[in-house]
Structure 1
Amino acid sequence: MKEAHKLLKEWSYEFTPLDKGYTDKTLYVNLSDNTIKVKTVPAEMKEKFIGGKGYGLRYLWDATKPDTKWNDPENEINIFSGPIGGVTQYSGAGKSLCVSLSPQTDIPIDSNVGGHYGPFVKFAGFDGIEIQGKAKNDNTVVFIDGVNHKVEIFEAPEEPLDSHHLAEVFHEMYADDEKDRKNISVVSTGAAAENSLIGMLNFSFFDPKRKMVRLKQAGRGGIGTVFRDKKLKALIVKIPGVKGNLNNVVDLSAISERGKRFNKEMRELDDSQAEMRTKGTAHITNIMNDYDLLPVNNFKLGSHTDADKIHSNIYKEKYFTQGMPDGCWIGCNMSCAKGVDNYLIRSGPYAGEKVLVEGPEYETTSSLGSIMGIFNPDFTIESNFYCDTYGICTISWGTIMGFLMECFEAGILNEERTGGLKLNFGNADAAMELLHLVAKGEGFGKIAGMGVRKLKQYFEEKGWGDPKFMQDIGMENKGLEYSQYVSKESLAQQGG
C-alpha cells in the first residue's frame, strides 16, 4: 500500500520543545494548495484563549467570514490540546478539542476527544494543528513526523476507509517495530461520514496490553463530515516516545503529588462509588433508569421495566474485559475506556470478523438501545462498532432513530416512505439495516443521515406530518440532537 502513496508536499521544520505546556507555535495546513507553515502564537492570544477550545475557536474566527458555510474551503478543522494536555502525572490529561463549523448547526461546534493525537502533536513541536482548504483527491493524508521533524501531504489510494481497519494499517505501516506502534496516532472517519451530516472523528491509540489499536471519538456536530468534505482520509502523527516531563511544567512535584492523591482516591473509592474501572461510564445507565432520566422511546419515558437487561452489571459480567488498565492516555488511572474484546460481528460488511468494540459509554447504552425501545446489549455493541468504524456519532444517530421511530408509529412515515423498513420501536433488525444504508449512502439511509432538524424540514416539505407535532418530538437544539439523558431541569444538558 505504501508504494502507491503519491507525495504532494514535504516540509521540514525546526523542532521546538515545550515550555510550561506550550511551544507557542501552531501548525497550519491548507489542503487546496498544500501550504504548510508555522504560526507563532501571540502573547495576547495565549493569555486570553489559553489553549484547547480557545485556540481552536480563535483560529476559526480568523479564518472564516460571517457567511462561510461548513463545506466552504475556508472552514477549518482545528485540533488543540491545552497547556496540561499530555501530562502523565495526573489522570484525564490526554484530551484534545476539535473545532469547526458544523454541518448540523451551521455555527461553530467543539467536540472533546481522548486518544493520543492531540498530546502527540504537542510532543512533535506544535500546540495544535489548523487545517483549511479542500484537497483535490479524496485519499489525502497529512503526516506529522515528529521523529525527523517534517510534515508530509500525500495521497493514499489503497488503504481502507473505515476506521477500525485504517488505524491498524497506519500504525503498522509507520512503526519501526512492535514497540514503536504506541508512538503513532491516527485521526480518521468512515464511509457514513461522507454520506451524512453526522460524521465524527476517531482518534487512535495503541493498547500495549491487548496489542491492538483502539479508538476514541470526537462525536458531536458532524466534524467527520467536514473531514471527508475536505477529502481527508487520515491525519497521522509519530513521535519518538513519551517520558515523564515533556511538558516541562513549572512545578512537577506539585502535579505529581496531586496526581498520587487522586489515584489513591480512585483505588479506595471507585469500587463503592462510580465503578469506572469495571464498568466505565456505563455504570450511569441503571442510575438514570432509577431516577427517571433514561431516554426511552424517543424521550417519551424516563425509565422502563426492561432496563434491567441493559444494567451495567450485564456489561461488566458478560461483555467488558476486566483486569485491564483501560485508560486512553498514559498515566490515567480512571480506566474508564472499557472495551468488548473478540466480539463476533453478525451483520453488514464485517460479518464474521472478531473485533474490539469501544465501550459502550452510558450515552450509547441508551442511544443505541432504550431510546429506540431496544433492550439488547448485543444490538447496542454491534451498532456501537459500526457507528465507530463508519464514522458517525452514536448520540446523534440514536436521537435520530428515536425521532424516526416515533414518526413511523405516528403515521408520518410508512414502509413505502422508508423503502420497506418497519421502523417501529423495538425493531432491532430494521434499525441495523438503516445504519448500513447510511454508510452506503443508499435509500432511506441517505435521508436519515441529515439529522433531526433537517428531517423535520424534509418531512414538512413532503407534506408527511404536522409541523408542530414534529417540532415537539424532534429532539434537537439549534440542529444538534439532544444527548442521552432526560434533561428535566437543565436546558444546558440538551446540547451535551
Structure 2
Amino acid sequence: MEATPRGSWWGRVLFVDVGTGETREEALDWDAARDFIGGRGLGAYYLFKHLVPGTRPLSPQNMLIFAGGPMSGTSCPGSARAALATKSPQSGLYTFAITGGELGPALKRSGYDVIILTGRAEKPVYVEVGPNGATLRDASHLWGLDTQLTQELIKKERRGEELAITCIGQGGERLVPYACLINERRALGRGGPGAVMGSKNVKALAIKKDGPAAPLADPATYREAAREATAQCRANPFTSGPLKAYGTVSTVAVTVNGGIMPADNWQRMTTVEEGKNLFGDVLREKFLAKDVTSGDPCPSKCSKLTVVREGPYAGAATEGPEYETIYALGTGCGIFDLAPIIEADMMCDLYGIDTMSVGVTIAFAMECYEKGLLTMEDTGGIDLRFGNADAMVKLVRDAAFRQGFGEKIAMGCRELAAEIGRGSEVFAMHTKGVEVGGYDPRGAKGMALVFGCGPRGGCHHAGGYTVQLEFTTPEIDRFADSGKVPIVVMTRNRRAAAAD
C-alpha cells in the first residue's frame, strides 16, 4: 500500500490475523489521528471501529491494538511511549495500557502507526513486524518461559536484527485475567492484555527498530519546542527533584503523611512510623543499584533498578518498585518492608502479571482469612494474616501458575468475593472488576470520581489524577465533596493527551 507520511505519521495501519497468517494494510484515518490524540486515543478509535459488539475478551475476534502517538520515537522528553487497547477479560469493557521503553520508538520506526493482532494461532507463535509487513514465527520452544528469557532467546535467534520485544510470561499463557505484557522490564499492565495475547497463542510481538523515523512536518519548530520541553523538565522542581531522586516512590511520603495510603486492605491508613520504612531515602540508601530512564530520551531518570542485598530475599532485583506496587504488595497486605516487595515485583515482571491486581486480591484474601471467611484448609496451609510477607510472595507465584490457593488469587478480588460471599463483596477493593489504586478518596475526594468513573475500572489515573492538585493547590479543599468535577475532567483530559 502506498502511503504519504504526514506530520510524524506514516499513514499506515497493519492488521495481522495470527490464525491464518494473513496480513493487510489500510490507510490511517487522518481525521482520527487529528481528533484522537496519541496512541491511547487511536487505539480506542480502532477498537470501537472494528470490534463487533458482544465479542468475548478471550475469543479470537478480540483485538490487541498497539499504537504510538505523534511524539513517539522523537527526541522530546517522555516520548518513548506506546499504548495498547483491547477488551478487558477483567472488566469486560474497553481497556488500555501505556508503557515506556523501546516499544513506542520501534513502532514508529516500523513504518506503521498502528498494529492490530486478531485471530488465534493453532500453536504458539510470535509476530515479527518490519517495514514490509509481518511474519509469524514458531514460538513452541518459548512457551513456558518467563518474560526475560523469552526476550533474550528471540534476540539470540534473530541475531543481526535490531528488535524491540513485548511478550507474555506464564501468567498470560495461563490466561490469568490480570496478566500483562512486558517489554524489557516495562509493563503494559492493567486490565489483562496479557491474557488476551495468551488466548491468541501469541508469545511475543517483535518489532524491528532500525528503520527511519517518521518525517516531521516542521523539523525546525519541533526542535525548538523539544529543547524548551527538556529545559522545563530540568528546571521543574518535581521532575528534577523528588521524581529524579526517588521515582514514584516519592509519593509514599506524601500519601503517608497525608493519611491516605491504605493498609490492611483499606481497613486503616498507613502510619508514619510504618511508612517511613518505605520512603524514597530508604530505597536509595539500602536498595538502589542504578537510576535509569523509563525510556530515552528523558532527563529525569525516574525509574530505579533495585536489589535486595541481604536477608531472606537477598538477590531479588527489579526495575521498581513503583508507588502502586508498594501499596498493593506492601501496605495493602500489612507489609512495611521493601525487600519482599522487591522480590514480589520481580516475580510479577518475570511471570507477566499486574502487581496491583494480584496485590489487592491477596490483601482481600487476608481480610477474609482474619474474619474467618477463609480457613487454613481453604488456603492450602498458608497462614494469610496481614503482614505475612512469605505468604504474599508465595501467592504471587502461585497466582501466575494458577497453583493451589493461587488459583483463587488469579480470579481477581471481584470474582473471588462473588465465590466467597457472606458479605465479603463490600471489602473487595475494585471498580468494574479492576482493583483500585492506592489513594484513599476520603482524604482526596476527587479520587472517588476518578475510581468510579474511569473508563478502565479501578485505575488511579485513567479517569484523571486529582490527588496531586488536591494536595498542592491551597485553593482546593481536598476534603470537600463539591467542586471536584472540573478538576477530574481537566486532569483526565490532560493525562489522555500526554499519555504517549
TM-score scaled by structure 2? 0.84
- What does residue 127 of structure 1 align with? 113
Instruction: Letter of the 1:165 partner, please give it.
Output: L
Q: Does residue 191 in structure 1 map to residue 167 in structure 2?
A: no
CA deviation map 1:441-479 (0-9, x unaligned): 21111111111111111112xxxx22xxx2321111011
CA deviation map 1:254-273 (0-9, x unaligned): 33333333433443454797
- What is the aligned length? 447
- What does residue 19 of structure 1 align with? 6
Q: Does residue 63 in structure 1 map to residue 50 in structure 2?
A: yes
How many Å separate the matches in 1 of 2:302 and 2:121?
37
Instruction: Letter of the 1:45 partner, please give it.
Output: A
Instruction: Check whether the contact 1:409–1:424 (CA below 8 A) recurs between aligned residues.
Output: yes
- What does residue 363 of structure 1 align with? 324
Which of residues 110, 131, 135 is equivalent to 2:96?
A: 110
Instruction: Check whether the contact 1:161–1:233 (CA below 8 A) recurs between aligned residues.
Output: no
Instruction: Check whether the contact 1:95–1:112 (CA below 8 A) recurs between aligned residues.
Output: yes
How many Å separate the matches in 1 of 2:210 and 2:251?
38
For the residue of structure 2 that corresponds to 1:286, the secondary structure is: helix
CA deviation map 1:140-194 (0-9, x unaligned): 1000134xx3421021222352112211222333342xxx7xx421111211233
1:345–1:194 CA distance, 2 compared to 1 (3 A): farther
How many Å separate the matches in 2 of 1:103 and 1:72?
10
Which of residues 198, 201, 205 is equivalent to 1:235?
A: 205
Quote the offset at 1:345 in angstroms.
Answer: 11
> After the TM superposition, which residues 321-336 of structure 1 pair with which residues of structure 2 at under 5 Å, given as runs?
321-322=289-290, 324=291, 326-336=292-302
Instruction: Letter of the 2:121 partner, please give it.
Output: A
Worse-matched range after superposition: 365-374 or 166-175: 166-175
How many Å separate the matches in 2 of 1:341 and 1:42?
46
Instruction: Letter of the 1:152 partner, please give it.
Output: T
Instruction: Check whether the contact 1:415–1:422 (CA below 8 A) recurs between aligned residues.
Output: yes
> After the TM superposition, which residues 79-158 of structure 1 pair with which residues of structure 2 at under 5 Å, given as runs?
79-88=66-75, 90-137=76-123, 139-146=124-131, 149-158=132-141
For the residue of structure 1 that corresponds to 2:172, the secondary structure is: helix
Quote the offset at 1:94 in angstroms.
Answer: 1.3
- What does residue 201 of structure 1 align with? 181
Instruction: Check whether the contact 1:17–1:123 (CA below 8 A) recurs between aligned residues.
Output: no
- What does residue 29 of structure 1 align with? 16
Which of residues 158, 164, 168 is equivalent to 1:174?
A: 158
- What does residue 39 of structure 1 align with? 26
For the residue of structure 2 that corresponds to 1:52, the secondary structure is: helix
Worse-matched range after superposition: 152-161 or 406-415: 152-161
For the residue of structure 1 that corresponds to 2:262, the secondary structure is: coil
> After the TM superposition, which residues 213-224 of structure 1 pair with which residues of structure 2 at under 5 Å, given as runs?
215-224=185-194
RMSD in angstroms over aligned alpha carbons? 2.3
For the residue of structure 1 that corresponds to 2:149, the secondary structure is: helix
Worse-matched range after superposition: 262-271 or 356-365: 262-271
How many Å separate the matches in 1 of 2:287 and 2:17?
43
Instruction: Letter of the 1:194 partner, please give it.
Output: E
For the residue of structure 2 that corresponds to 1:306, the secondary structure is: helix
Instruction: Letter of the 2:370 partner, please give it.
Output: E
1:271–1:98 CA distance, 2 compared to 1 (3 A): closer
Quote the offset at 1:132 in angstroms.
Answer: 0.7
Which of residues 139, 162, 165 is equivalent to 2:146?
A: 162
How many Å separate the matches in 2 of 1:401 and 1:68?
30
- What does residue 5 of structure 1 align with? none
How many Å separate the matches in 1 of 2:43 and 2:324?
26
Instruction: Check whether the contact 1:345–1:382 (CA below 8 A) recurs between aligned residues.
Output: no
Q: Does residue 412 in structure 1 map to residue 395 in structure 2?
A: no
Instruction: Letter of the 1:197 partner, please give it.
Output: P
Unpaired stretches in structure 2, ≥5 consecutive residues: 452-457, 461-500
For the residue of structure 2 that corresponds to 1:164, the secondary structure is: helix
Instruction: Check whether the contact 1:29–1:35 (CA below 8 A) recurs between aligned residues.
Output: yes
Quote the offset at 1:114 in angstroms.
Answer: 1.1
Instruction: Check whether the contact 2:12–2:25 (CA below 8 A) recurs between aligned residues.
Output: yes
Identity percentage over the alignment? Answer: 27
- What does residue 337 of structure 1 align with? 303
How many Å separate the matches in 2 of 1:306 and 1:328?
29
How many Å separate the matches in 1 of 2:216 and 2:178?
38
1:264–1:64 CA distance, 2 compared to 1 (3 A): closer
1:342–1:376 CA distance, 2 compared to 1 (3 A): closer
Instruction: Letter of the 1:289 partner, please give it.
Output: V
